[in-house]
Amino acid sequence: MVFGKFEQAGSLWIMALNGKVAVVTGAAQGLGKGFVEILLQNGANVALLDLNEKAGKDLEENLNKAYGADRAHFYTADVSSEQQFKDAFQKVLTKFGRVDIFCNNAGIVNEKNWEKTVSINLCAVVRGTYLALEHMKKENGGQGGVIVNVASLAGLGPLPSAPIYTATKHGVVGFSRALSMASQLANYGVRINVLCPTFVRTALIDTFHSEELTGQFFNLKTVTESLLDKHPLVEVEDVAKGFLLLVKDESLNGAVLAVRSTGTGIVSFPTEIPKTPVSL
Ligand SMILES: NC(=O)C1=CN([C@@H]2O[C@H](COP(=O)(O)OP(=O)(O)OC[C@H]3O[C@@H](n4cnc5c(N)ncnc54)[C@H](O)[C@@H]3O)[C@@H](O)[C@H]2O)C=CC1
Ligand SMILES: CC/C=C\CC(=O)/C=C/C=C\C=C\C=C\[C@@H](O)[C@@H](O)C/C=C\CCC(=O)O
């Protein structure tokens, strides 16, 4: 299946990013900032969405100094608000005229206020995906494109100290994989891929030291620390390279990319779930 303007690199079909327009949520810091930078370095123009207005505006100024005027624009938006998300998306279309790449990256850990976590980590990912899809899909006159949803290794296996966070990330993986199949079957011309990083050196990983944010699971801090031993930290730049692959490689739709200190790989899901027979 071929989606958009691309150039051939060996047997790979690679989407050229010059002139493309990308949207990244949670873009003011951390992984989102890394995704924005690698997109700018590869020729795309980028809309940054975040609820942190000061950090977002400061980053916008610095990026336009570094990569050229008018390449990056910040829009204040709380992705858990349907109205704010829709308004920001409309402002992006008014400014840039198109959206080719959409990254649902914004996410939090809050096991106390779990409804907030579900609202941001899962509901807002669905909202952003559907906003982008409505604009991109060919049956609506769109140009096609690619959506990258940010899950986590906790979307592939449990984080005992963060069961709600784990649930939201499993939801992102399942939703994105199912929608990628729907997109293929309906010939939307839109690829939907998932990024599953291990622990990354950002502000978020301090969360599990916070009793306010881990709540009843604060006493499992040592479990997370032992998982950190098993899954050592990676840097934002390592994850950004995986993100760029999911954006540029036109052959990838429904891909789940795990980024770990031991390397990066596309997850293969068993068609037959291993089972231990029981007698009823
Ligand atoms: N840091 C890590 O170890 C890992 C992070 N992830 C995921 O990567 C994504 C980014 O996380 P990090 O960069 O590490 O976190 P971070 O806390 O450094 O940055 C998150 C950004 O999202 C923004 N944000 C939070 N709630 C928002 C909302 N309602 N509306 C708009 N913006 C909002 C924040 O203002 C911040 O700029 C999250 O989805 C997270 O679950 C996945 C695996 C590992
Ligand atoms: C408290 C949250 C902190 C940071 C955010 C985040 O998403 C960090 C996730 C980091 C690691 C999660 C590890 C989960 C490990 C176990 O559940 C494993 O069963 C995971 C399953 C497969 C891992 C892939 C592999 O190692 O082959």
Domain ranges in the chain? 21-258
Place of tokens 């291993």: 274
Does residue 10 have a pLDDT over 50? Answer: no
- In the CATH hierarchy, which top-level class contains the domain 21-258? alpha beta
CA–CA distance, 75 with 181 (Å, rounded to integer): 31
Is residue 129 helix, strand or coil?
helix
Ligand nearest, relative to CA of residue 162: 2
The residue that leads in pLDDT, 14 or 278, is 278
Instruction: Using pLDDT thresholds of 50, 70 and 90, give the confidence band for residue 5.
Output: very low
What pLDDT is recorded for position 12? 61
Annotated catalytic residue: which of 67, 75, 130, 165? 165
Looking at every residue in the chain, the average pLDDT score rounds to 94
The CB-side HSE value for 107 (13 A sphere, CA atoms) comes to 31
Decide: 204 in ligand 2 pocket, CB within 6 A: yes
pLDDT over 70 for what percent of the chain? 96
Whether the CB of 205 sits within 6 Å of ligand 2? yes
Q: Where are the alpha helices (DSSP H) in 42-113?
A: 53-67, 82-96
pLDDT at 225 (0 to 100): 92
What is the rounded distance in angstroms from the CA atom of residue 6 to the CA atom of residue 17? 9
Cα–Cα dist 147/95, whole Å: 20
Q: Residue 266: pLDDT band by 50, 70, 90 thresholds?
A: very high
Tell me the average pLDDT across 76-97: 98
Ligand 2 centroid – CA 158 distance (Å): 7
Is residue 51 very low, low, confident or very high in pLDDT (cuts 50, 70, 90)?
very high
Ligand nearest to the CA of 232: 2
Range 249-270 average pLDDT? 97
**Amino acid 14: pLDDT:** 80
Whether 165 is catalytic is: yes
Q: Is the CB of 204 under 6 A from ligand 1?
A: yes
pLDDT over 80 at 200, yes or no: yes
* Pocket perturbation via mutation, ligand 2, pick of 109, 117, 125, 156 by most ligand atoms within 8 A of CB: 156
* Beta partners for residue 196, in sequence order: 258
The residue ranking higher by pLDDT, 10 or 41, is 41
User: By mean pLDDT, which of 28-37, 171-180, 200-209 is the weakest?
Assistant: 200-209
Residue 11 has pLDDT above 60, yes or no: no
Predicted-complex ipTM score: 0.96
- Give the mean pLDDT of 239-257: 98
The ligand with the least distance to the CA atom of 168 is 1
CA of 32 to the centre of ligand 1 (A): 7
Counting from 1 in the atom list of ligand 2, the atom nearest the Cα of 196 is 7
CA angle 183, 173, 196 (to 5 degrees): 120
Q: Which residues of 113-142 are buried (b: 16+ CB within 10 A; e: fewer)?
A: ebeebbbbbbbbbbbbbebbbebbbeeeeb
The tens digit of pLDDT for each residue in 221-247 reads 999 999 999 999 999 999 999 999 999
Contact residues for 145 (Cβ-Cβ < 8 A; gap 6+): 3, 4, 99, 100, 101, 102, 132, 136, 189, 190, 191
In this structure, which residue's CA is closest to atom 22 in ligand 1? Answer: 26
Name the residue among 60, 49, 56 with its Cα closest to residue 24.
Answer: 49
- pLDDT tens profile 54-64: 999 999 999 99
Best probe residue, ligand 1, of 37, 50, 83, 225 (max atoms within 8 Å of C-beta) = 50
Note the pTM of the prediction, 2 decimals.
0.95
In degrees and rounded to multiples of 5, residue 268 shows phi and psi of -105, 125
